[in-house]
Structure 1
Amino acid sequence: MPENGSLANCCEAGGRALRPGWPGAGGGRPSANLRPPWVAPALSAVLVFTTVVDVLGNLLVILSVLRNRKLRNYAGNLFLVSLALADLVVALYPYPLILMAIFHDGWALGEAHCKASAFVMGLSVICSVFNITAIAINRYCYVCHSVAYPRIYGHWYTPLYVCLIWLLTVVALVPNFFTGSLDYDPRIYSCTFIQTASAHYTVAVVVIHFLLPMAVVSYCYLRIWVLVVRARRKARSESRLHLRPSDIRSFLTMFVVFVIFAICWAPLNCIGLVVAINPEEIAPRVPEGLFVTSYFLAYFNSCLNAIIYGLLNQNFRREYKKIVLVLWSPWFCFQAAPRGSHAERQQGQALPTVSAQHPIQGDTLEPGSETAARRQTQSR
């Protein structure tokens, strides 16, 4: 079987020799015969589709949270905006560079862009993992520690948590520059994390940046669903857990985001663990198609979250429609806005105050207002 592309990057002289696909390394095209013919068109199609949906979808998520007061007022939705930004950055920088590498059949933008592209790719992946973990912890605290939740996620605390996530992400990427693990892989036309650069570091990356966060997220959602099932089995008067149907849908939505992320990134991380056992022996035996397909899944994940929100969350779906309508026919919306606002004012005047026995059923990704729910419970 042809030599594994990642192993080829760890070539003689400590990885400092010219890599296949780089200008000056035999014309920059010696790796073409190592790659199946379907890789270039398939990867191009995946990247083009992913980039378009990634940019449009994640911009819709960010605009929806900014426009909708119900979505904007909940602290946990800041993690969704952070997750959307993490997915968005790869579509704005690394993906277009990968498309250029496919067009040139090799990396033609120099080592600086290669390192920067691989860094941004890692930034997106690790930041996505940390945000998904933070969202799960947020839901867990709301359900399992509702009394302490307002103190843990106060008005200014959540933005600090988001900044901490991005800071930890940057810190987590710093060791890559000392291990030389950010390099060009000709099999996937990408500057990315090279699994064979350091076996010990690869194991550490998979365990700390994937397995451990996934274990934390699994524990949080398992505890949530155990409490939800118990609360449903008890009478409402006996249960201390008061969750609306919209809260259950929000947990389900983020659980689906977690499951899909795990499915998309598990193959690549499993390959990394297997290769780390013995890079020189195992890396050349990894099927080319399996490795490339694992990257297809990983790239494709960045555009899926916005689709999941639209499919499973009514508020996001409504905001998507409003934003698209404004962009599609801005003059019509500008004329219709005053009439709609007047109709809403009349409807608001005609509606009496909501009874405490029938709370408003919102459909947000953040659980309902804790303070309001607690007041309603005390009034009963």
Structure 2
Amino acid sequence: MLPASNSSLFPVYKISKGMTVFLAGLILFTAIVDILGNLLVIFSVVQNKKLRNAGNMFVISLSVADIIVAVYPYPLLIGAILQNQWTFGNTQCQISVMIHGLSFIGSVYNIMAIAINRWCCICHSTTYENLYSMRSTCFYIFLTWMLSFILVLPMFLVGALQYHPHVYSCTFIFTANVSLTVGVAVFHFIIPVTVVIYCYVQIWVLVIQVKYRVRQESKQKLKPGEVRNFLTMFAVFVLFAICWGPFSIPGLIMGFSPPGKAPIIPDWLFVVGYFTACFNSCLNGMVYGVFNQNFRQEYKRILWSLCALVLRWIKYFN
């Protein structure tokens, strides 16, 4: 039996057994595919010379942002869902939401960094090599994570990270601090998404122009690899926007609504947005395998090597 103080801090929220199994299974599936898929991404970049470039260093950084939530918060979340209540204490609840927030901000700013990298590579190819040496790229990644950490701190310091029984974990509460909600809307969503859209629009315009000139004059062509990489990263951004939109857009609406006139967000929409956002962390590894032939081939090579290793172990122990 939990102490009364802990019970009041983390109230029980019971749902049907079917929904409990579904939510726990969804997070379990997300965590497993997240870890396996993103480890495949990291190993592919490290082992394949064709993939070992400055642009894909940001891909590794994005994979790390996805993996950290699968390793720590998600196992606790599964336990909380199965028990209809958070039972791991307030410290663990606050740490888990901090890591989840860091993962989200790290993801959105790594996606922004990828878009800038693709924009420089395709639209400003003459200066790309000077801007994106391996050393400078590592520095950019370091700055990306430092900025992400700085941006997640205010939510913790003003007490906006609170327990929400409908998602069985601590999360960002939009109504906790109006000024902070506006800041979150601007720095966590509007600025990075605007930069990403600007970069990808510029790339799409160039791709269309080049294809038009190719048909008419046959003078200029984009490298097939550049277009393929761009389409892969564009797909990553689109899926990220789709998955995080239901959670982030209500925050935008509440943050910019006149005082006292902010709409009430239905609990079901908050729950859908939260779990959809969680699900996004397992998608990127699959996207690289579907859209990028180099990643797909490296996936196959790694998986075949693992299968061969397992078979050797089975033969050895038998």
Query: TM-score, normalization: structure 1?
Result: 0.76
Q: Return the match for 1:306 from 265, 277, 285.
A: 285
Tell me which protein shows more helix as a share of its residues. Answer: 2
Task: Give, as a single letter, the amino acid of the residue that structure 2 aligns with 1:197.
Answer: A
Q: Return the match for 2:45 from 47, 55, 65.
A: 65
Q: Relative to 1, partners in 2 of residues 1:331 and 1:91: Cα closer, same or farther, differing over 3 Å?
A: closer
For the pair 1:330 / 2:309, whether they are aligned, the reply is: yes
Aligned to 2:30: 50
Aligned to 2:5: 24
Q: Secondary structure in 1 aligned to 2:126? A: coil
Aligned pairs for 1:252-267 within 5 A: 252-267=231-246
Note the alpha carbon deviations across 1:351-378, whole angstroms, 9 max, x for none. Answer: xxxxxxxxxxxxxxxxxxxxxxxxxxxx
Q: Secondary structure in 2 aligned to 1:227? A: helix
Note the alpha carbon deviations across 1:116-147, whole angstroms, 9 max, x for none. Answer: 10110011000000110011101111122112
The percent identity for this pair of structures is 46
Aligned to 2:177: 198
- Distance in 2 between the 1:333 and 1:67 partners? 22
Q: Secondary structure in 2 aligned to 1:71? A: coil
Aligned to 2:294: 315
Q: Relative to 1, partners in 2 of residues 1:38 and 1:213: Cα closer, same or farther, differing over 3 Å?
A: farther
- Distance in 1 between the 2:4 and 2:90 partners? 10
Q: Is this contact kept in 2: 1:28–1:106, CA < 8 A?
A: no
Report which stretch shifted further, 266-275 or 167-176: 266-275
Q: Is this contact kept in 2: 1:144–1:224, CA < 8 A?
A: yes
Q: Relative to 1, partners in 2 of residues 1:320 and 1:209: Cα closer, same or farther, differing over 3 Å?
A: same
> Displacement, 1:77?
0.4
For the pair 1:182 / 2:161, whether they are aligned, the reply is: yes
Task: Give, as a single letter, the amino acid of the residue that structure 1 aligns with 2:153.
Answer: V
Q: Is this contact kept in 2: 1:90–1:121, CA < 8 A?
A: yes
Return 5+ residue gaps in structure 2 as ranges.
314-318
- Distance in 1 between the 2:162 and 2:10 partners? 17
> Displacement, 1:148?
1.4
> Displacement, 1:82?
0.2
Q: Secondary structure in 2 aligned to 1:174? A: helix
Q: Relative to 1, partners in 2 of residues 1:32 and 1:256: Cα closer, same or farther, differing over 3 Å?
A: same
Aligned to 1:82: 61
Q: Is this contact kept in 2: 1:23–1:107, CA < 8 A?
A: no
Q: Relative to 1, partners in 2 of residues 1:124 and 1:240: Cα closer, same or farther, differing over 3 Å?
A: farther
Q: Secondary structure in 1 aligned to 2:54? A: coil
Q: Which has the larger radius of gyration?
A: 1
- Distance in 1 between the 2:267 and 2:31 partners? 24
Q: Secondary structure in 2 aligned to 1:32? A: coil
Task: Give, as a single letter, the amino acid of the residue that structure 2 aligns with 1:79.
Answer: F
- Distance in 2 between the 1:175 and 1:188 partners? 22
Q: Relative to 1, partners in 2 of residues 1:162 and 1:29: Cα closer, same or farther, differing over 3 Å?
A: closer
RMSD: 2.5
Q: Is this contact kept in 2: 1:311–1:317, CA < 8 A?
A: yes
For the pair 1:97 / 2:41, whether they are aligned, the reply is: no
Note the alpha carbon deviations across 1:213-272, whole angstroms, 9 max, x for none. Answer: 111111101111111111111148968854122221111111111011011111111111
For the pair 1:171 / 2:128, whether they are aligned, the reply is: no
Q: Relative to 1, partners in 2 of residues 1:27 and 1:267: Cα closer, same or farther, differing over 3 Å?
A: closer
Q: Relative to 1, partners in 2 of residues 1:262 and 1:151: Cα closer, same or farther, differing over 3 Å?
A: same
- Distance in 1 between the 2:289 and 2:36 partners? 12
Query: TM-score, normalization: structure 2?
Result: 0.90
Aligned pairs for 1:8-19 within 5 A: none
Q: Secondary structure in 1 aligned to 2:125? A: coil
Q: Relative to 1, partners in 2 of residues 1:151 and 1:103: Cα closer, same or farther, differing over 3 Å?
A: same
Q: Is this contact kept in 1: 2:41–2:285, CA < 8 A?
A: yes
Aligned to 2:100: 121
- Distance in 1 between the 2:70 and 2:174 partners? 23
- Distance in 1 between the 2:87 and 2:107 partners? 29
Note the alpha carbon deviations across 1:6-62, whole angstroms, 9 max, x for none. Answer: xxxxxxxxxxxxxxx9962557774426x6776533321210110110011001000
Q: Return the match for 1:151 from 115, 130, 149.
A: 130
Q: Relative to 1, partners in 2 of residues 1:240 and 1:324: Cα closer, same or farther, differing over 3 Å?
A: same
- Distance in 2 between the 1:279 and 1:97 partners? 36
Q: Is this contact kept in 2: 1:196–1:279, CA < 8 A?
A: no
Report which stretch shifted further, 41-50 or 270-279: 270-279
Q: Secondary structure in 1 aligned to 2:51? A: helix
Note the alpha carbon deviations across 1:55-112, whole angstroms, 9 max, x for none. Answer: 110010001111111111x111000000000000000000011112123322221121
Q: Return the match for 1:221 from 156, 178, 200.
A: 200
Q: Is this contact kept in 2: 1:22–1:108, CA < 8 A?
A: no
Number of residues paired by the alignment? 311
Task: Give, as a single letter, the amino acid of the residue that structure 1 aligns with 2:202.
Answer: R
Q: Relative to 1, partners in 2 of residues 1:28 and 1:240: Cα closer, same or farther, differing over 3 Å?
A: same
Aligned to 2:316: none
